[in-house]
Amino acid sequence: MTEKEKRDNLELYDANYDEDLLKERIRAKELCFRYNNLEPSKIEERKKLIKEILGSTKNNVWIESNFQCDYGYNISVGENFYMNHNCVILDGGKVEFGDNVFIGPNCGFYTAGHPIEIDLRNKGLEYVKPIKVGNNVWFGGNVVVLPGVTIGDNVVIGAGSIVTKDIPSKVVAYGNPCKVIRKI
């Protein structure tokens, strides 16, 4: 089994020495570099390039520079998607965003994690767990969403939150760790 197959089966894998994964990450980083260095007025070029970077998009998608991701093809975004400046998506695993998702600046969505066991971690092994975000979700600035989290529909995640566990629909949640504060 290849390291990519292990990753896609949600098993421990080594991303550092797999030639295919290295090539895929370099491709994504080069595309992000091009995207981040396009002039803001080059709107049509930016739209075309972000569709090349991401796995699937709807029509109304806008991502501000600086944007970084690992692979790009594991990211899908719905209609009316906006991501502010300096966001990072570590998409070794799938990252799905629904419609009407708005993301503040300096946010991170991390599907990748590393073993707690020292010997495994020191070998460079990692794992991925998918992230899923529903429709009508707003993230304040500096939010971090960790591996394996699902966020329901009609949710507000307050600025500075670290989302470690699933968040149900129709709530306001914030904090470190992020927790439901009230229903909407």
114 in catalytic set:
yes
- Strand arrangement, sheet containing 67-69: 67-69, 87-90, 108-110, 144-145, 162-163
Block residue for tokens 């960790």: 146
CB neighbourhood size of 184 (10 A): 10
For residue 105, say if its preceding peptide bond is cis, omega within 30 degrees of 0: no
User: Of the residues 42, 58, 114, 165, which is catalytic?
Assistant: 114
Token pair belonging to 55: 């796995």
What residues act catalytically? 114
